[in-house]
Amino acid sequence: MDNNLLLLWHTVPSGKIKKDKLVKLLDVSAKQASRYIRKWTQEGWFTYTAGRGRGNASELHWLKDVERLFEEQLMDIIEQEPVETSSKYLLFDWSEEVKIRLIERFRNKFGYTQNQGDVDKLIIPRRHQLMTMNPLETADVHSANFVATVFNRLVSVDSKGKVSPEIAHSWDLSPTKLRLYLKKGIKFHDGSLLTAEDVADCLNRIRSHENSRELWEPVKRITVPAPLVIDFTFPEGCSYCLQMLGMINSSIFKESQGQLYGTGSFCLDNSHELKTVLVAFKDYFGERPLLDAIEFVQVPEDFDFAYRTSQPKEAEETFLVESDSGVGIIVMNAFRDSAIQRQEVRDYLHAIIRKHRYSISEADSRILPNEEGMLIGQNQQYRFATAERPLFKEPLIIKTTSYLKNVSDWLQAIFEQEGIPAEVRVLPFHEYLVDNGKDQQADLYIHGEVFEMNQDFSFFYFLSNGLSPFATLIDRDPELTQLLEQYRHTPFEEWTMLNRQIEKSLVESSILIPLYYAKRQIPFSSELMNIKLSHFGYVDFSKLWVRPTLDCQGFGK
C-alpha cells in the first residue's frame, strides 16, 4: 500500500491532468513523479498518456478503486499481523467513512490480552511518539509517564506535600544538611545492585544539567560517608531539598554503554517510532506488577483513547475516570524587542482576553475558562489598570504548536475582532518546548502546565526550572529574583504565601494571564481493577490488574 497513490485517488479524477500538478501534489521532483506514474501504470492502477508538447495536459484514467482495495488489504493485516504493523497504515489519507471502519476493527486489537504461558499484556494506543527516555530531558507529560513507570525516585511526594520513602527508607534533616539511608538489595534493570555511589553520580549529573542547575544551586556537595548513605550539604539552606528529590527529573538511573537503566516496576524491552514495550521487572524491590507487559502503539491523533479488556463484547461496560490535565495560561514575552515590552500594550491585550475568556470552550470543549489563576483553590483578587488602546504598527506574533492550535486560533480571532492584527506561527512540539530563550520570535503564546505533585512545590519548579517560560524574564527582574531566593529559607509549609505573591505580580504585570482549566475523562473497562492515577494524571500501571473470567456461577461459603 502506498499513501501517495491513495492521495492521488482522492485528489485526481479520471481525465486531463497537467504533469506539474502531479509533481506538486506528490511533493516530489518531476523525475520521481515520472517513476511513480510508470510504476503505478505497470501495476494496473490507471492508464496514463503524457501530453505532447510543452504545456499540454496529460490523460489519466483510473482502472481500479484504490481505497476499496487498500481497505481490504488493511483489514486482513489488522486481523493477522501485530498491531504495530497495521497502525502505520491508519495514518494514511483515508476518507472519513473508511477510516471509521478501519479504526473500529483496529480498536479490538487493544486492551488486555493473555498469551500462551499466561502472559498478561495491556496494549494501549499512543497518539504521540515518545520524545525522550531520559529523566533529565523530560519536559512533556507523555515522556514523564514513561519515566515514572521505569525509574524510581529517592522519595515520593503526594498532593498534600507528604514525603514518603521510595529508594531511601529514612533520612535525617537539618537546616544545612540532609542524610539519606538507602534500602538494601535494590537492583537496576541490568541486574547490578544499586549503590550509594551510583546514586551520588546520578544526582551530580542532575544538579549540573542545564534544565535543573538553577533549582539545585543551593546544594553545594553530595557525598557518600558510608555504604548506602548519601549526604547533601547546603550551607545557606535549602528548605525544599526533600521535595526536590521526589520529582520526575530527579529519577535515579545508571548509564552503561549508552543505555539508561532504572529500578522501576517495569523495564524497557524495546522501543521504536511505532511501538514501545515495557515488561515487568522480576527483581523489583517493591511489589511486583500484576501485568507482565505493556505495549504502547502509535495511532492517529483522532483515535479514541480507552483502557479496555481483550476482545470487547458487543456492549462492553465502561466507566469514566476524570483526570486533571492542568491549566492553560498566556505568556507575554515582556523581554522581546517589540511593542509587547510596554506595560500599557500588555494591559490592553489582557483586558481583551478577560473580556472574551468566557468563550474559550468554543475552541475546545474539554476546557473551561479560568479567571482565578494557576494556584487552584487560592482565587486571588487582582488589580487591573484601565488600559487605553495603543497603536499597533505590526501584527502580534502568536507562537503555537499542534495540540494548542485551536486555542491559538481562538486567541487570534478575538484580537482581530477587536481590530488588532495578529499572526499565528506553528512550531513542531519539540521546538515549542525548548523555544523559551531570549531569541524566541513571538510576542505571546499559550502554555499548558500539568503539576506533577504537590501544587506548592510544582508552582515553584514551574517558575525556576531551565525550561520555564519565565526563566529569561526572572533573570532580568530583580524583584522576582529576590522573591525566588526566599524559597530556600522559607519553611515548605509557608510556600503558599510566596506562590501567591509571585503569581499576583506576574498577573498584574500582564505577563501571566490565566486562560483555562483542562480535564479529561478516560474510559475504563469495568473488568480492569485497582485503577489509580499517578504522576500527571496517568494510570499507575504497577497496580492495574484484570479480574479473570471464571466458569463457575459464584463461590461457596
Domain with CATH 1.10.10.10 in the chain: 3-64
- Counting every residue written for the chain, the total comes to 557
Q: pLDDT at position 521, please?
A: 57
Cell of 399: 507562537
pLDDT digits (tens, 9 = 90+) for 214-235: 899 999 999 999 999 999 999 9
**What's the CA gap between 277 and 275, in Å, rounded?**
7
Residue 501 CB-half CA count within 13 A: 13
pLDDT digits (tens, 9 = 90+) for 51-62: 876 668 889 999
* Tens digits of pLDDT across the chain (557 residues): 899 999 999 999 999 988 888 888 888 898 898 999 999 999 999 999 988 766 688 899 999 999 999 999 999 998 888 777 787 888 888 998 998 888 878 777 776 676 656 778 888 777 777 888 899 988 888 888 889 899 999 999 988 888 999 999 999 999 999 999 999 999 999 999 999 999 999 999 999 998 899 899 999 999 999 999 999 999 999 999 999 999 999 999 999 988 999 999 999 998 887 788 999 999 999 888 888 888 888 776 666 655 555 544 444 555 555 556 688 999 999 888 899 999 999 999 999 999 999 999 999 888 899 988 888 888 788 888 788 899 899 999 999 998 899 999 999 999 999 999 999 999 988 888 888 777 788 999 999 888 877 889 989 988 888 788 887 777 778 888 888 889 988 999 899 999 999 999 999 999 999 999 887 656 566 666 776 766 566 677 777 777 666 555 555 54
The CA angle 442-445-448, to the nearest 5 degrees, is: 145
What strand order describes the sheet that includes 367-369? 367-369, 512-525, 318-332, 444-449, 396-400, 422-426
Cell of 467: 525550561
Q: Of the candidates 521, 372, 375, which has an alpha carbon nearest to the alpha carbon of residue 451?
A: 375
Amino acid symbol at 199 = V
CATH number assigned to the domain covering 3-64? 1.10.10.10
**What's the CA gap between 192 and 238, in Å, rounded?**
32
CATH match for 323-518 among 3.40.50.2300, 3.40.50.300, 1.10.3720.10, 3.10.105.10? 3.10.105.10
Domain with CATH 3.90.76.10 in the chain: 152-263
Cell of 118: 499466561
**Class assignment of domain 152-263?**
alpha beta
Cell of 503: 503569581
